[in-house]
Chain A
């Protein structure tokens, strides 16, 4: 039985969007927890951050896999890199690559903080900065994705 290519590509697109929502929404959640005035103790925020890091890398792998699947849906009709759409795609791919590369130090820093004896208020400030930067990077990538889809 042949699977309708349209159904397959829509499914891949939905999985891509769900992975993005997980990664972006999770970063916003950790940022919100670390930003609340007189909020949760540092150990609680760190615990959520560690869980987020597990999810982030799963989502990153799925995003790369389904992202290429989305490009494959264009086939030979994929616009070239010299077009405005192509330039934006290059910018988006470069932004994703930068986010993935710079996320490794974030994961390692969070893992190290969770190992350190006794989480302090300075750890919460670090988490706020790390997840603030991650959220901002995701917002830029989302903006580029929306432009590519509808621009």
Chain B
């Protein structure tokens, strides 16, 4: 595990969630949303987002040395788009499994097939495409923010050796 990967992944997950919470609260819809969410499920979903974001950030940074190499930073944006969309799909998969389990647990056995699994088969491909698009867009936005923050850190024109 590298410090840059760990900090970027946590930065992405935390900033994403904080922004959503801030926007939801400013529009007055946060209390109702949170009251309808089981605490363990809420904590678990954040851990899941953190984990998928760490995994995809690690893959996006594989072979790159963003601190030492200017050329590596130039190729970073393309990877944020690709791995952002995969993160969106991975998180949707986690959400889907949780939602399916909750729905199945609260449905009579004879209605699970036609009422839950059959509609899920139709919705899943569309949801995957949407989550890939949203994830890619969010990933790209974070790519630009990351590069701006790299510039603030003074990492704009340097080309050196070594990694941490």
Contacts and interface: CB of A to CB of B under 8 A. Distances in A.
Interface residues of A, number: 46
Interface of B: 3-4, 6-8, 10-11, 13-15, 17-19, 21-22, 25-28, 30-32, 34-35, 37, 39, 42-43, 46-47, 50, 67-68, 145-146, 149-150, 152-155, 158, 160, 162-164
A74 B153 contact: no
B35 A75 contact: yes
B7 A112 contact: no
Nearest to A97: B18
A54 B152 CA distance: 20
B30 A71 contact: yes
A69 B157 CA distance: 42
Contacts of B42: 68-69, 72
Give 4 nearest A-B pairs by CB, closest first.
A78-B31, A75-B35, A108-B153, A105-B153
Nearest to B25: A81
A78 B4 CA distance: 36
A43 interface: no
B4 to A, nearest CB: 6
For the residues of A in contact with B, the DSSP-based class is helix
Contact of B149 (A58, A78, A104): A104
Interface string A42-73: 00000000100110011011001110110110
A32 B14 CA distance: 28
Contacts of A106: 153
Nearest to A61: B10
A80 interface: yes
A104 B26 CA distance: 25
Nearest to A107: B7
